Structure 1
Amino acid sequence: MVDNPNFHWIDDNYHCGFGHNNNIIYNYCYNQLNMKTDDYFIILNPDVIIDYNVITHLIDNMLKNHDLIATVNLFKDIDNHIYDNSIRKFPSLSDFIKSFLGFNNPSVVDKSLLTEPCSIDWAAGSFLVIKASHYSNLKGFDENYFMYCEDIDICYRSALLNIPVKYYPNFHALHLAKHANRNFLSKHFYWHISSVLRFLLTKSGLTKVKSSIKNKASY
């Protein structure tokens, strides 16, 4: 792969965090690879296995439907029988608490009920496709998150612009997730708790700002 002229290996900045590293990659594509505003920037985890044709068909559909941000249907098994909970509603504090305690999380979307492309609240950052111009308008990921919830945050900020995530259930990929944040007292669990608090506070602040703008516009 390294010998391929279209393969670029960025061999530094390993410890910047998920969102920050994706911003580094975006800036590299823009400044070094001549990425255009009409191009699509793909956020793809190394533990996601996806066929190239799935990506090209997804992009074709995004172009046709003028989608600015979208995702596919992730599964946990190669036979596509076990859904990955990769699409959800925007969570509340009680949703996070129920998830941490091992109860059913009300924010999880039942994928079996979605058979056609539709708008959703947010999708996991393990696979997201964002039009380059939209990524730029959103100023990329919030680098104050080190790991976890930065995907919720960027989708939430997009939704505030009335641009929800488009979910394509018929395009599949395999996600070999380990969910290290489930181990209590681990650094991943600490990162998760910190990110949850940051998102809830940020969400509250952004909602108040949007409400204030609407109220002023109505005068």
Structure 2
Amino acid sequence: MNIYISVVSHGHAEMIKQINCLPQLAKQFNVVLKCNKPQDAEALNEWCAENNIVIIKSDYGLGFGKNNNFVFDYCKHKLNMQGEDIFIVLNPDLHITAEQIAELVENMQRDRVAFAAINLFKNDEKTIYDNSIRKFPTLKDFFQSFIFGVNKCIIDKSTVFTPTPVDWTAGSFMAIKASHYQQLSGFNEKYFMYCEDIDLCYRSQLLKVPVVYYPTIHALHFAKHANRSVFSRHFMWHLQSTFRFLIYKFTHRLS
């Protein structure tokens, strides 16, 4: 059983080098870095070669889901990834150790888990949680979040101490058995950005495969959220993705 890690750089070249997480992971796992901008490819090409990281320098300007699907297909057809292997989606602004990934995969095998999430923090002291695990949202939840900044879907991580099924986890870190990712057909590429992670988890739940959250597996997330003010490009992407998910959720009810 092998581990394949998908990282997409969309102008993150300097951050990736500064965090310096990937060279350590590449010593034990298959790390594939997909550049979404030509300047990333230029900045990271030599660095990747020095650190045994596979770099993909083509098909620029894709959305989050399509990029990770591209990497999955590359791992399957070029790197011989098998169904029993683990495919990990890893944000470029995230730091995790190889030991934590190895422990996660060991737990997944022991518990026969096909889809896993981990505990993300926003600071080195691990006192500020990243709200990366949540309940599936309703139209009311989205409305309250957009208008009032109130999100009742967030799960309080301070109350979870053992591996626990959750509705969905953020795409900043996902560990999925390759055969299950294949069964789901990966991310829905109709989502350019936002909600594709909710959609993937929801479709997994429809197949009776929940996301299992492992609170003792830690990583640090240096998240920087794009401008989502009304009428900004990111806000419009978010709005479109929200309605796409809600329509799908309404027409495909969980039993």
TM over 0.5: yes
2:197 to 127, 134, 151: 151
Question: Cα distance, 1:5 vs. partner?
Answer: 7.7
Q: Could you say which residue in structure 1 is the equivalent of 2:213?
A: 167
The percent identity for this pair of structures is: 52
2:128 to 82, 85, 88: 82
| Distance in structure 1 (CA, Å) of the matches to 2:82 and 2:188 | 22
Q: Could you say which residue in structure 1 is the equivalent of 2:16?
A: none
1:178 to 214, 224, 231: 224
| Distance in structure 2 (CA, Å) of the matches to 1:182 and 1:76 | 20
Q: Could you say which residue in structure 2 is the equivalent of 1:2?
A: 48
Q: Could you say which residue in structure 2 is the equivalent of 1:117?
A: 163
Question: Structure 1: which 5+ runs fail to align?
Answer: 212-219
Q: Could you say which residue in structure 2 is the equivalent of 1:62?
A: 108
Q: Could you say which residue in structure 2 is the equivalent of 1:133?
A: 179
1:26 aligns with 2:68: no
Deviations 1:64-121 (A, max 9, x none): 1110000100111111111111000000011111111233211111111101110000
3-state SS of paired residue (1:163):
coil
| Distance in structure 1 (CA, Å) of the matches to 2:149 and 2:71 | 36
- Report the count of equivalent residues: 209
3-state SS of paired residue (2:120):
strand
Instruction: State the AA in 2 paired with 1:29.
Output: C
| Distance in structure 1 (CA, Å) of the matches to 2:82 and 2:227 | 36
Asked whether the equivalents of residues 180 and 189 of structure 1 are also in contact (C-alpha less than 8 Å), the reply is: no
Deviations 1:117-169 (A, max 9, x none): 10000000000000000000001000000000000000000001111000001
1:52 to 69, 74, 98: 98
Higher relative contact order (CA 8 A, sep 6+): 1
3-state SS of paired residue (1:167):
strand
Under a length normalisation based on structure 1, what TM-score does the superposition of the two structures give?
Answer: 0.92
Under a length normalisation based on structure 2, what TM-score does the superposition of the two structures give?
Answer: 0.79
2:89 to 36, 43, 57: 43
